[in-house]
Every structure is written in C-alpha cells, then in structure tokens.
Amino acid sequence: MYAFDFVKPASLDEAVAALGQEGAQPLAGGQTLLPSMKQRLNAPEVLVSLRGILELRGICRESDAVVIGAATTHAQVAADLAADYPGLAALAGQIGDPAVRNMGTIGGSLANNDPSACYPAGALGSGATVVTNAREITADDFFQGMFTTALDEGEIIIAVRFPIPQRAAYAKFLQPASRFALTAAFVAQFADGVRVAITGASEEGVFRWAEAEAALSADFRPEALAGLSMPAEGMIGDLHGTPEYRAHLVGVMTRRAVAAAG
C-alpha cells in the first residue's frame, strides 16, 4: 500500500465535492478497490468513503417496486428482502462469504460491473433503474461492457429501484475459490414478459439472452428452452472453463433458474 488521503463525508453533497478533487475515487464496501490497491493495480490519491452517508443506506417498499440504497450491504438485502423480493434476496445471500456480504454494497458492485458479479444479473434481469446524484439510468443502458458502465466521472449511485416481478430466481454455478459466478442466470417473469440476464459467461460482461426471453414469455417452463443454445463465440475462456463450457452452462443455469422460480 502507499500514502493517500482519506475523506469520510457525512452528506451526498460533501461526497460529490470531494470526488471533484484530482485523483479521487469513491470507496463503498472496498471489496474490490482495497485488494487492487494492495496489489498496486489501483492508485487513487484520495479515497472518498460513502459508508457514513445515511441517505445512501436502507431499503424501502414502493407500490410495485423496492428501492435499495447504494450503501446497503449484501447481507441486509438478503435478510430484509426475503418477503418482498425473494429472488433478489437469494441472489444477495450467495455473494462471496459472510465477511464480504457484511461489507460489500450493492452500489459498489454495480459501479464496478465485474463480468462475473451477481448483482449486475439481478439488476438487468429485473429491469432495474440506477438512480444517481445526477439522473436515472435503466439497467439496459447502464451496463456497457466488462468493468464499464454509463456512470460519468464523479457520478455517484444513490439507489437502485427494482420492479417486483411475479416470480424470479437466480441460479449460480459457483467458482469455489473466488465465489464469483463461473456462469449464472437471473430469470424474472413480469406481466408483459420474461427477462433473462446472464453473468460470468461473456467477455462483454452481463447480458440478456433474448431467445430465452421469447421462449419463456410464451411458456414459462424449463422445457421451453429445449433446442436453444448459446454460441461459444465471445464467451470467456480461462483455466476454470472453456468458452464452449460456459456457453453450455448458460442453458443449464437458465433452466435451473426457471425451475427454481416455479
């Protein structure tokens, strides 16, 4: 590690001002940023902690949606959403280990947009809206490739609004060392159709599987996916699995998610 300044603002306005400094980066749960700093892969001059801003924490229920503050931990989502949105609560409960779930935040996960993270699949599969200090961004527009989002420099996620589906589930093929998704699928059925989001598989990060969405919108059963397959082109290939293996897992995990959603 090396020397840097640490700022802990008490309000959103203070955080925005602090992030206007040259070399400043926001610090949410620190589950990605701090390890990268220890390895000297990231070298911010100023760390701006968002954990002390009360308006960024907590969960509230709207008529047909839940709104989750950006600094809300995975553990809180897993515990507090079990009744209102069990599919998303189950997803949060599978992130990392207890230490990660008690420190990591939904805002930090979405802003980082790791190609194997769980929350991007939940947000994209739910058709969520990311609320920042400047605007609202639909999940379809927010994720723009591996570790890339629509956030501008200094823009902060305040909350994420999740429409509540009729039913939803997340199926994750766990990479046991990292506990990230080797491949995972989030499936959500709404009155106007089904959304299917895949994480862990593509070199472009989280994506929607349009063919599966069409098939499941007509018939929400695992059998409806028979005959569908994901091409291996563009899938991640590494020591944990070939592109062909991950392409196969896309179908497997989507069928498991549909079965789990009931």
Low-confidence ranges of the chain (pLDDT < 50): none
Two structure tokens written together for 62: 């709207």
Give the pLDDT score at 231.
97
Two structure tokens written together for 24: 């400043």
Closest CA to 108 of 120, 122, 126: 120
Determine the length of the chain.
Answer: 262
CATH number 3.20.20.70 given to 5-49: no
Q: Which fold has domain 56-163?
A: 3.30.465
DSSP 27: E
Q: Are 69 and 159 in contact (CB under 8 A)?
A: yes
* Global confidence as pTM: 0.95
Q: Are 248 and 154 in contact (CB under 8 A)?
A: no
CA distances from 249 to 112, 132, 140, 182, 185 (A): 24, 34, 23, 9, 9
Give the pLDDT score at 19.
87
Q: What is the pLDDT of residues 169-220, one digit of tens each?
A: 999 999 988 899 999 999 999 999 999 999 999 999 999 999 999 999 999 9
Q: Are 221 and 230 in contact (CB under 8 A)?
A: no
d(CA 21, CA 2): 18
Phi and psi at residue 153, to the nearest 5°? -60, 125
Closest CA to 173 of 97, 249, 86: 249
Residues in CB range of 92: below 8 A, 6 or more apart: 74, 75, 77, 78, 81, 101, 106, 118, 119, 122
Q: What is the pLDDT of residues 138-153, one digit of tens each?
A: 999 999 999 999 999 8
d(CA 70, CA 205): 21
Residues in CB range of 99: below 8 A, 6 or more apart: none
Q: Are 131 and 110 in contact (CB under 8 A)?
A: no
Q: Which fold has domain 167-261?
A: Enolase-like; domain 1 (3.30.390)
Spell out the domain ranges in the chain: 5-49, 56-163, 167-261
Give the pLDDT score at 178.
87
Q: Are 160 and 106 in contact (CB under 8 A)?
A: yes
Closest CA to 147 of 183, 109, 173, 121: 109
Q: Are 183 and 249 in contact (CB under 8 A)?
A: yes
Give the pLDDT score at 45.
86
Give the pLDDT score at 1.
62
